[in-house]
Structure formats: C-alpha cells, structure tokens
Amino acid sequence: MRTGDSQELITLRRRIASVLPGWSDWPRRLRRIYVLLETFGSSNSSVGEMCGEFGWDAAETFQMITDIRSFSQALEEYRLEEGYPKAKKWKKPLQASELHALYAYESAMVQFMHHEDRRGQGTFGVKLMDQMGLLKSLEERDGPSFGNGASSRAGASLPDWSDLNESPEEK
C-alpha cells in the first residue's frame, strides 16, 4: 500500500490485481491496450488499429504482447470470455469503469510530470492531481492549497473535467 492512497483506491487496486495479477508489471502501453479493449475490440486487427491511432510501432507492440506472458494470457482470456474476467466467487466481472479509474489515477502523475516539464504552461496538471486526490495528504497537513474552487475528491473517481479548464491568463 502506498501512503496517501484512499481506501477506495486500495480496494480498486486489490480487485484488479485479483484478476490481473500482472497489471502493475505491464508497461503503460499494454495497460492502455487492455483498458481500450471494449472500445476498439480485442482482435489483432483491433490492436493494430490502436497502434495507428496512438502512433505506436505495431511490430514492437505485438512483440511486447508476446514477451509479456501475463498480458498475452489476459488478452486471450478477454477474447474467450468476450469481456473482462471475474475472479472466483465474484458475482460480476471486472468493470471497464474500474480499469478506467485506476488507469486515470496512475496516469495523473505522469501527466503532472509532463506538465511540470512545460513550466509556465498553466496549472492543468496541478488541478488534475488535485481532482484525482493525489494532493490530499498535502491539503490535510497544510490546508487547501489552491483557490481555484476544485474539490479534493480522493479515490479512484474521474475528475470533473470542467473544473480543469485553464483560464486565458494561465495559458
């Protein structure tokens, strides 16, 4: 468990790890593919379409899929079940919304770092981290950090994107 994670996020990580034990070891590209299976489909052609959409080298991507056994097994299970898996004793399979929430949470830090590298480009990254609850422990210690009206909702819910728009003076 990581310090600062909300109980909902911890539960979500455990739920996903119980059916996708390799999730945390997969490269981001493979996590992205898995999250997008419902949108694009799971065939090799669909994965090829994702490669074109995101500018990935298709041969490299298919090699990754082959090399990372836990991912190729999860992809095959998705194809056989025609959807995300469920663990034994679960009533429902893993929901796409659960994967979306965890992927968004994990991506928020990367987005923050990209925005940090572009200093002076606005506060979108900071607002995104605030919305995702990544700044919660700082706020609890020091009080609210931002006077932008964004709420600090901890957990794995997606942010209210309307609160993240930059004002003209921030651009």
> Same structural domain for residues 102 and 166?
yes
75 close to 42: Cβ distance less than 8 angstroms: yes
Average pLDDT of the chain? 78
Long-range pairs, 151-156, Cβ under 8 A, ≥24: 154/6, 154/8, 154/9, 155/6, 155/8, 155/9, 156/6, 156/8, 156/9, 156/12, 156/98, 156/101, 156/102, 156/104, 156/105
Here the tokens at position 148 are 């932008």
pLDDT at residue 35 tops 90? yes
pLDDT bin (cut points 50, 70, 90) of residue 152 is: very low
- Domain extent, residue 25, equals 21-84
Of the candidates 41, 61, 84, which is a domain's last residue?
A: 84
Does residue 108 sit in the same domain as residue 133?
yes
pLDDT above 70: residue 32: yes
For the chain, percent of residues with pLDDT exceeding 90: 42
Q: Mutual orientation of helices 58-67 and 28-35 as an angle, nearest 10°?
A: 90
13 belongs to a structural domain: no
Instruction: Choose the final residue of a domain: 44, 63, 84.
Output: 84
Confidence of residue 61 (pLDDT cuts 50, 70, 90): very high
How far is CA 53 from each of CA 17, 20, 48, 50, rounded to the nearest angstrom? 28, 25, 9, 5
Q: Which residue has the higher pLDDT, 17 or 6?
A: 17
Q: Number of folded domains in the chain?
A: 2
Classify residue 40: in a domain, yes or no: yes
Do 159 and 116 have their domain in common? yes
For residue 154, being part of any structural domain is answered with: yes
Average pLDDT over residues 56-78: 97
Q: What is the pLDDT of residues 78-137, one digit of tens each?
A: 999 999 998 888 888 999 999 999 998 888 878 777 777 766 555 665 676 677 666 665
The answer to whether residues 113 and 166 belong to one domain is yes
Same domain, 52 and 113: no
Flag the least confident range among 55-59, 96-100, 149-153: 149-153
> Would you say residue 8 lies in a domain?
no
Considering only CA atoms, which of 16, 35, 147, 11 is closest in space to residue 100? Answer: 35
76 lies in the same domain as 125 = no
Given a cut of 50, whether residue 171 has pLDDT beyond it is: no
